[in-house]
Homo-oligomer: A and B are copies of this chain.
Amino acid sequence: MRLLVINPNTTQAMTDEIGHAARAVAAPTTEIDCTSPTGGPRSIEGFADETIAAYHTLETVARTQGQYDGYVIACFGDPGLYACREVSNVPVVGIAEAAMHTACLVAHRWSIVTVIPRVEPFIAEAVHRAGLWDKCASIRCTPLSVLEIEQDIERTKRLIVDYARMAIDEDGAEAILLGCAGLGPIDKVMQEALGVPVLDGVACAVTMIEGLHAYGLNTSKTKAFLTPEPKELVNCPDALTAAYVRKQESDV
């Protein structure tokens, strides 16, 4: 299958790493492109960041329709996920939801270890959207900002180990979800250090969307994710306008 992995922020180094993580786990028959939107914030750390990134991610999905068999939204917060499902004729999977659903198969309860505290309500919303709040032992926020993650990777590892250990010892977590796509590269090192499953959502999303493809499943176009009603968009990019004039379909 052909897969477009979208890093919703506009930091190219992070896009490169996400592409690397995606390819590492993908089946030989899966071709992966990885890209950022043409606009938006350098990192996503709150609701305003998310709102702007969701808009640009939606434009990316609309603009590339017909070129891919599936999309992965590679920000732990799944910005624009439901909107993208509306405009896409092929499956769209978010890395937060994929990590959470996968974690449920290897752990009774799990925690998310992530960046600065202000992202907590934003990530909590993704957990609720996935319907998995009761499986989430905790969301542990470190003092790291998104862009600091790779500036001092040893400090990053130390902080993730410390906060993950608190999640395991105090909150009852049996697996750790890395709550930022930028943390993906350290997944196996962390798993080694912690002795519990450690999940990067990018890897989970790639394997799950491969599963959808293998089994022939596509987004249901019956209610929540119906193609947008045809209507005029004022001052919007051509790709979005085009997505709104496509005839509504309800194929499986």
Contacts and interface: CB of A to CB of B under 8 A. Distances in A.
A65 interface: no
Contact of A199 (B130, B147, B168, B217): B217
A245 interface: no
A62 B216 CA distance: 33
Q: Give the one of A27, A86, A234 with max B CB within 10 A.
A: A234
A174 B218 contact: no
A59 to B, nearest CB: 9
Interface in A132-178: 132, 134-135, 145, 147, 168, 172, 174-175
B131 A104 contact: yes
B224 A174 contact: yes
B121 A47 contact: no
Contacts of A98: 105
Interface residues of A, number: 102
A240 B55 CA distance: 13
A197 interface: yes
B191 A252 contact: yes
A109 B120 CA distance: 12
16 contacts: A39-B236, A40-B235, A42-B234, A47-B82, A47-B224, A49-B229, A105-B208, A117-B223, A121-B224, A174-B220, A195-B222, A195-B251, A197-B220, A204-B215, A207-B215, A210-B211
Interface of A: 10, 25, 27, 38-43, 45-52, 54-56, 58, 80, 82-83, 85-87, 91, 93, 97-98, 101-102, 104-109, 116-118, 120-122, 125, 128-132, 134-135, 145, 147, 168, 172, 174-175, 188, 191-192, 194-199, 203-204, 207-212, 214-220, 222-226, 228-229, 231-236, 240, 243-244, 250-252
